């Protein structure tokens, strides 16, 4: 299906719902997509729930833009064998913003055995709604999994459709390979930063497969980390790069606290020591600059001040910070950037920080940091920091007045 006039990126179009049946080619762009998952009848004598679900979605889609509904039912006839459309279903499940599982299980006519497998693969994806009539048997475990992972649960089909559209909101226009990026990742600042840089370079996202998300919040609704296997057309080389995974997280803010010494190597540098599970150091800890990220604070400078206070106990005012710049930390793997700042501390502050070395800071069990003080020469020679931290310190000290 082509694009109507006025359907370019960011330009509103009239509200519409497009139903894509089994083995049909989906449209080239959409604002939202729902996949209907659940048992289907294998006989014309058994009524299907898919048409009713489509009706509820049509009635409730109120936004300008296109909602695509994937239904595994054939446009005509009753599906007798899934093997001919497995790849179509897998692609639709991956591309959909929400997978609406409705499980009106009937052990004689719709046992939902395939549904159990699909649900097990997707229930923890962050884009599932689970629904089932109270009378349907053998759904207790599926419901338990949903409730334990923050999945919206409904016992009426109209309510399940409403929950699916609540997750979608107004949607977001995507076309071509962008359709493979579901809204829960598309809406993150980290994805938009990475994708904006790719587009600015003239590159084209030809496809993606979301491999994993790490989510937090009361219903695990906020994506903190994500990983996607992407296919990118590299404009400068006229080829498609398709063998890499992009991992990303929110940008971080780091601060170099330092006190100049007689020489650069004798300059005192403040680090924090913290146990981090990925560390492969001799002591199992990382030794890094005070810093981190926040879902609540979008201003890097404000976040930098908060991190210094939280991880060292030192309170600085905004005028003490000197911005150094922003760069990626590990460009071959992660799309996120570090916003680097520096602040020269006084002799009194340095002594106070030295007194903090036996005091734990941070947020208790989730984050526990210990102040360390070393000279720049010691940091380099003793292997106290990783390459990224060494680079940040070197850059900040190089720009010190």
DSSP states along 239-250: EEEEEEEEEE--
Query: Considering only CA atoms, which of 309, 348, 329, 304 is closest in space to residue 386?
Result: 329
Q: Are residues 345 and 203 in the same domain?
A: no
Sequence-distant (6+) residues with CB within 8 A of 377 are 265, 266
Burial of 137 (0-12, 13-18, 19+ CB in 10 A): exposed
Which residues are paired to 32 by β-bridges?
Answer: 67
Q: Are residues 35 and 162 in the same domain?
A: yes
Task: Report if residue 11 sits inside a domain.
Answer: no
Q: Are residues 234 and 350 in the same domain?
A: no
User: Per 3-state DSSP, what percentage of the chain is helix, strand, and coil (rounded to 5)?
Assistant: 30, 30, 40
Question: What is this structure's pTM?
Answer: 0.90
Cβ count within 10 A of residue 370: 20
Q: Are residues 217 and 242 in the same domain?
A: yes
Q: Which two tokens stand for residue 347?
A: 């002799």
For residue 122, give Cα distances in angstroms to 147, 208, 259, 327. Answer: 14, 17, 52, 35
Sequence-distant (6+) residues with CB within 8 A of 25 are none
Domain boundary among 220, 248, 276: 248
Q: Residue 332 is part of a domain; what is its CATH number?
A: 3.90.79.10
Query: Considering only CA atoms, which of 157, 234, 153, 155 is closest in space to residue 199?
Result: 234
Task: Report if residue 2 sits inside a domain.
Answer: no
Q: Which domain holds residue 234?
A: 188-248
Distance CA 90, CA 79 (A): 17
Tens-binned pLDDT, residue by residue, of the chain (401 aa): 344 434 556 666 789 999 999 999 999 999 999 999 999 988 888 999 999 999 999 999 999 999 999 999 998 866 666 677 899 999 999 999 999 999 999 999 999 999 999 999 999 999 999 999 999 999 999 999 999 999 999 999 999 999 999 999 999 999 999 999 999 999 999 999 999 999 999 999 999 999 999 999 989 999 999 999 999 999 999 999 999 999 999 999 999 999 999 999 999 999 999 999 999 999 999 999 999 987 777 899 999 999 999 999 999 999 999 999 999 999 999 999 999 999 999 999 999 999 999 999 988 778 899 999 999 999 999 988 999 999 999 999 997 76
Task: Report if residue 213 sits inside a domain.
Answer: yes
Task: Report if residue 291 sits inside a domain.
Answer: yes
Q: Are residues 295 and 223 in the same domain?
A: no
Are β-strands 204-216 and 222-234 bridged in parallel, bridged antiparallel, or unpaired? antiparallel
Q: Are residues 52 and 103 in the same domain?
A: yes
Q: What does 102-129 look like in DSSP terms, one character per residue? A: E---BTTTB--HHHHHHHHHHTTSS-EE
Query: Considering only CA atoms, which of 267, 254, 203 is closest in space to residue 400?
Result: 267
Task: Report if residue 55 sits inside a domain.
Answer: yes
Q: Are residues 217 and 349 in the same domain?
A: no
Q: Are residues 38 and 156 in the same domain?
A: yes
Q: Are residues 203 and 131 in the same domain?
A: no
């Amino acid at each position: 299906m082509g694009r109507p006039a006025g359907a370019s990126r960011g330009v509103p179009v009239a509200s519409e719902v497009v139903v894509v049946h089994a083995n049909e080619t989906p449209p080239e762009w959409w604002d939202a997509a729902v996949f209907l998952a659940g048992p289907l009848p294998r006989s014309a004598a058994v009524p299907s729930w898919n048409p009713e679900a489509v009706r509820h979605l049509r009635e409730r889609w109120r936004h300008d833009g296109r909602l695509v509904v994937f239904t595994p039912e054939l446009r005509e006839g009753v599906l007798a064998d899934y093997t001919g459309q497995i790849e179509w279903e897998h692609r639709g499940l991956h591309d959909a913003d929400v997978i609406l599982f409705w499980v009106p299980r009937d052990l004689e006519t719709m046992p939902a055995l395939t549904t159990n497998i699909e649900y097990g693969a997707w229930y923890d994806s962050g884009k599932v709604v689970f629904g089932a009539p109270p009378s349907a048997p053998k759904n207790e475990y599926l419901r338990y999994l949903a409730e334990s992972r923050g999945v919206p649960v409904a016992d009426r089909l109209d309510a399940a459709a409403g929950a699916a559209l609540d997750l979608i909101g107004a949607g977001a226009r995507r076309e071509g390979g962008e359709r493979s990026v579901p809204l829960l990742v598309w809406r993150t600042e980290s994805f938009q930063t990475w994708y904006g840089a790719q587009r600015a370079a003239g590159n084209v996202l030809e496809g993606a497969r979301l491999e994993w998300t790490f989510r937090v919040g009361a219903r695990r609704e906020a994506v903190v980390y994500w990983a996607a296997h992407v296919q990118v057309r590299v404009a400068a080389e006229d080829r498609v790069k398709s063998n890499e995974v992009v991992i990303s997280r929110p940008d971080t803010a780091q601060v170099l606290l330092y006190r100049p010494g007689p020489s650069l190597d004798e300059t005192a540098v403040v680090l924090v020591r913290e146990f981090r599970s990925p560390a492969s150091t001799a002591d199992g800890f990382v030794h890094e600059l005070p810093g981190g990220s926040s879902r609540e604070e979008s201003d890097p400078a404000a976040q930098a001040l908060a991190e210094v206070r939280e991880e060292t106990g030192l309170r600085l005012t905004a005028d003490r910070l000197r911005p150094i710049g922003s760069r990626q930390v590990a460009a071959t793997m992660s799309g996120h950037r570090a916003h680097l700042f520096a602040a020269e501390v006084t002799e009194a502050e340095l002594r106070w920080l030295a007194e903090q070395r036996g005091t734990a800071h941070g947020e208790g069990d989730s984050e526990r940091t210990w102040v360390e003080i070393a000279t720049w020469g010691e940091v380099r020679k003793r292997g106290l920091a990783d390459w990224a931290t060494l680079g940040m310190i070197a850059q900040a000290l190089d720009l010190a007045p």
